[in-house]
Each structure stands twice: as C-alpha cells, then as structure tokens.
C-alpha cells in the first residue's frame, strides 16, 4: 500500500530483532542518568548480578553497548592470540561470519564443512580434536542456534566430545538467537565464553551484547595477545566490580534489561522454553500441512526460535516475502547468502503468544496463495488443532 499509515501492529516475525513488550518500552522511557552516579550504580549492580541467571552461570557476565557482532569479537579477542588455531563448525551464514572475523583477527580457523541443514556434529569435532595430538587448536567455536537455518547444535554433546578427546581447547558458544528462548547452561555445560545479544529472546532493542565467561576463560585472557581495548575484560572488571563501566554504557537499554530479566523470571525460564517449543511445533505442523519442506533435516536439531521453510524450485522466497509484507504488514526473515531466494524464515521467539504465532501463520498461508506458491490449505488449522490440544493438556485453562 502507498498509504502513509498502516493500521494495527506490524508483525515483526523475523528471527530477531523481536517485538519489544510495552513494559520494556516503558522501563526504558526514562531520563538519561549520570552513569557515574549512585542511581546508575544500583542499576549496574542489579543487571550485572541478575543477568547471570539467564545464562545459568555463577561467574561474571560482561555487558557491551554493542550488537552481537561486538560480543563475537570480544570473545575471540579476549582469549586468543594471533596465529592460534580455532576449530569452527559451518552451521550456516552466522558461523561463516564468525569464521571470517577470526581470519581478520589473525587467527587460523579450521572450518568443518556442512550443508547448512543440521547443527554442529559432536562426532566430527571430537574426531578432529583427537587428531590434534599437540593441542594446537586453542578453541572450539559453535553457534548454538544458527539463525540462518533454524538448526540447533547439541552443546552438551560437543562439550562431552571435547572432554572425551582429552583436549584442553576453550569452548566458545554463540547463543545470540537462543538465549532466553532455548534452554542453555553456561556452567553445567562447561562453556568457556558464551556470546549473546539483546534483540532476540531478551525482547530488547538491538544494542546490548554479552560475554558470559568461565574461570578458565578469565585465566586465558591474561595471556591473550589479540589487540583490544573496548572489548577488554581486564578493563571492565574493576569498574564492573563497583557496578560501573569503563566507558559510557547504554544506560536506557540497561533499564530495559532490568525489566526483561524480571519478566523472564516472572514467567519462569522453563515456561519460556516450553512456550518457544510449543510455537515451534505449531509452526512445523503448519509447514507440513502446507506440503512445504523444513530446511533443518535433523528433527533433534529443530530450532524453537525460528523455522526456515524451503520454497519449491522455480519460486522465489523473497517475492513471497515482499508480497506478504505489502498485503499483510508482516516481515519474515530472508534467506541469507547461499539460501537467498530459496527459504524464508518464520521467527517465533521473544514475546510471542499462541494468537501472535497463529496470526503470523495466517499471514504466511495467505501470502503463499497470493504469490502462487504451490501448497495445500490447512496449515493454520493444523497449528490451531495442536495449540488447542496443548492448552487442554496443560490445563492452562481453568
Ligand atoms: N550470531 C547469530 C546466531 C545471529 O543470529 C546474529 C544476528 O542475527 C549474529 C551473530 C550477529 O549479531 P548482530 O547482528 O547483533 O551483530
């Protein structure tokens, strides 16, 4: 439409940024405060402490005023030195970007190739580590939820593969599109650096990102030679210990983070994960009813954050996305790099409820019809049948 205004709420169904709840918007709608004063100090102390529960860690979490890419760089730069070998797994577009960053930082990444239709394979990682008798590989880097494909990597199993190989490499995990959507245990799973971002499961705008760390990572940071200042944990620690930052933090985003953590705790993290699982399953049932193919080919690796859907040969997923946006004011995720035109991605993470996901699936079903993509009807019905069954089973209704 060419109208200056579109009525109603835009459906932001991309796999991040996700819609920001009104409560978080209100929490951020505050006068900017003195980031060296006592009021900020209380906020700083609170968020630095409370964010630990979301990562399931007792250790430190560093918070950067940056997008997720910054926290990726921070993770590599704080624990590694130029020339270090790192083992990475090609889950998709984001794993590839992280690998390219490692090259730019002077590291020597080795990339285990894959077809972008599965999560990382612990067996392949373990096999490569066993070959590395001299322990030249200094870190293993895995993307937990590959946002370009909708495949989840089995992080606990990768940890076990590293241990079974008796290899001392650090374990770095990107949870940018899984944190607060898909269960994750920084401490229990022996992750050394967990990278995350604000704009997905945390329901915040883009602009904050995180490094959760282990004692082993902090020890490694003492000897890591990659140049850094903004990303340096060492610069952060003395300030964070007092609730402050070594530079101007994203003060209003931190008010939002404070509210987001409260909201996650009020719902209960386990309920948050179950809700994401439910909406992912409803989405997959719709996709199957439409007769379309899910990109992820390993059911155990299905993502609860997003579903990437393949369009039949001869059709362009971006034409479908453009028509759906124009007709129904809904944004769906595009296919990235080698998936361009071949898939669209339905985001079902963040502040989503049963009716929001059904609204999104309705938009997809109508969009498929509008753009002439061959499909069967009944996807939304299949999702409704599943969700009503879930509501009954869980006795979420009185
Ligand atoms: N890693 C993953 C898994 C992502 O989904 C993204 C962004 O979508 C990034 C890294 C990069 O984060 P950002 O765009 O916030 O810099």
Specify the pLDDT at position 151.
98
Beta strands in 182-305 (DSSP E): 193-197, 209-213, 293-294
- How far apart CA 183 and CA 299 sit, in angstroms, is 17
ipTM of this model? 0.99
User: Which residues have C-beta atoms less than 6 Å from ligand 1?
Assistant: 16, 67-69, 94, 143, 147, 174, 176-177, 197, 206
Tell me whether residue 10 is exposed, middle or buried, using C-beta atoms within 10 angstroms of its C-beta: 0 to 12, 13 to 18, 19 or more.
exposed
Protein residue whose Cα sits closest to atom 12 of ligand 1? 68
Percent of the chain residues past pLDDT 70, beyond the cut: 99
Instruction: State the greatest distance between any 2 C-alpha atoms of the chain, in Å, as a whole number.
Output: 65
pLDDT band (50, 70, 90) for residue 395: low
Domain boundaries, the chain: 11-18+269-393, 22-265
DSSP state for residue 292 in the 8-state scheme:
P
Which option is the CATH number for 11-18+269-393: 3.90.1150.10, 3.30.930.10, 1.10.1040.10, 3.30.565.10?
A: 3.90.1150.10
- Distance of CA 372 from the midpoint of ligand 1 (Å): 32
Kindly tell me the sign of the dihedral angle through the C-alpha atoms of 226, 125, 61, 251.
positive
Query: Does this model's pTM top 0.80?
Result: yes
> Is residue 398's pLDDT more than 90?
no
> Is residue 150's pLDDT more than 60?
yes
Specify the pLDDT at position 394.
78
- Distance of CA 69 from the midpoint of ligand 1 (Å): 6
Supply φ then ψ for residue 48, to 5 degrees: -65, -35
> Is residue 2's pLDDT more than 80?
no
The closest-lying atom of ligand 1 relative to the alpha carbon of residue 197 is 15
The pLDDT mean for the chain works out to: 97
pLDDT band (50, 70, 90) for residue 215: very high
Average pLDDT over residues 317-344: 98
Q: Going by CATH, does the domain composed of 22-265 fall within 3.10.20.30? A: no
Beta strands in the chain (DSSP E): 11-13, 61-64, 85-89, 108-112, 137-143, 145-146, 151-152, 170-174, 193-197, 209-213, 293-294, 306-310, 330-332, 343-347
Specify the pLDDT at position 309.
99
> Is residue 1's pLDDT more than 60?
no
The per-residue pLDDT for range 73-126, each reduced to its tens digit, is: 999 999 999 999 999 999 999 999 999 999 999 999 999 999 999 999 999 999
Average pLDDT over residues 195-220: 98
The closest-lying atom of ligand 1 relative to the alpha carbon of residue 145 is 3
- Distance of CA 166 from the midpoint of ligand 1 (Å): 31
pLDDT band (50, 70, 90) for residue 320: very high
The per-residue pLDDT for range 234-266, each reduced to its tens digit, is: 999 999 999 999 999 999 999 999 999 999 999
Q: Which residues pair with 137 in a beta bridge?
A: 85
C-alpha distances in angstroms, 225 versus 106, 220, 221? 11, 10, 8
> Is residue 145's pLDDT more than 90?
yes
The per-residue pLDDT for range 33-72, each reduced to its tens digit, is: 999 999 999 999 999 999 999 999 999 999 999 999 999 9
Specify the pLDDT at position 152.
98
- Distance of CA 177 from the midpoint of ligand 1 (Å): 7
Specify the pLDDT at position 396.
60
With vertex at residue 255, the alpha carbon angle to CA 200 and CA 229, rounded to the nearest 5 degrees, is 75
- Distance of CA 93 from the midpoint of ligand 1 (Å): 10
């Amino acid at each position: 439409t060419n109208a200056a205004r579109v009525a109603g709420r835009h459906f932001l169904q991309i796999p991040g940024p996700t819609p920001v709840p009104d409560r978080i918007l209100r929490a951020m709608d505050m006068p900017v405060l003195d980031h060296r004063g006592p009021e900020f100090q209380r906020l700083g102390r609170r968020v630095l402490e409370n964010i630990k529960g979301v990562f399931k860690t007792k250790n430190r979490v560093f918070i950067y005023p940056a997008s997720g890419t910054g926290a990726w760089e921070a993770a590599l730069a704080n624990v590694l030195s130029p020339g270090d070998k790192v083992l990475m797994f090609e889950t998709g577009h984001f794993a590839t970007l992280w690998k390219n960053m490692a090259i730019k930082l002077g590291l020597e990444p080795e990339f285990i190739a894959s077809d972008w239709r599965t999560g990382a394979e612990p067996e392949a990682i373990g096999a490569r580590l066993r070959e590395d008798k001299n322990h030249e590989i200094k870190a293993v880097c895995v993307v937990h939820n590959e946002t370009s494909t909708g495949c989840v990597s089995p992080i606990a199993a990768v940890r076990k593969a590293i241990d079974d190989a008796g290899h001392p490499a650090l374990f770095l995990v990107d949870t940018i599109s899984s944190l607060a959507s898909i269960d994750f245990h920084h401490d229990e799973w022996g992750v050394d650096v967990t990278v995350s971002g604000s704009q997905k499961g945390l329901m915040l705008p883009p602009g904050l990102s995180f490094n959760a760390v282990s004692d082993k990572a902090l020890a490694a940071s003492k000897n890591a030679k990659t140049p850094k200042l903004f990303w340096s944990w060492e610069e952060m620690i003395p300030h964070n210990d007092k609730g402050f930052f070594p530079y101007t933090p994203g003060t209003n985003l931190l008010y939002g983070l404070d509210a987001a953590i409260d909201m996650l705790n009020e719902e209960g993290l386990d309920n948050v994960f179950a809700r994401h699982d439910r909406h992912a399953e409803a989405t997959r049932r719709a996709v199957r009813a439409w007769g379309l193919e899910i990109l992820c080919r390993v059911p155990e690796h299905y993502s609860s954050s997003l579903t990437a859907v393949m369009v039949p040969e001869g059709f362009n997923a971006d034409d479908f996305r453009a028509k759906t946006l124009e007709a129904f004011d809904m944004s769906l995720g595009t296919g990235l790099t080698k998936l361009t035109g071949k898939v669209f991605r339905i985001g079902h993470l963040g502040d989503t409820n049963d009716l929001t996901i059904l609204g999104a699936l309705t938009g997809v079903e109508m969009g498929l019809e509008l753009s002439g993509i061959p499909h069967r009807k009944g996807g939304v019905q299949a999702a409704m049948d599943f969700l009503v069954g879930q509501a009954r089973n869980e006795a979420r209704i009185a």
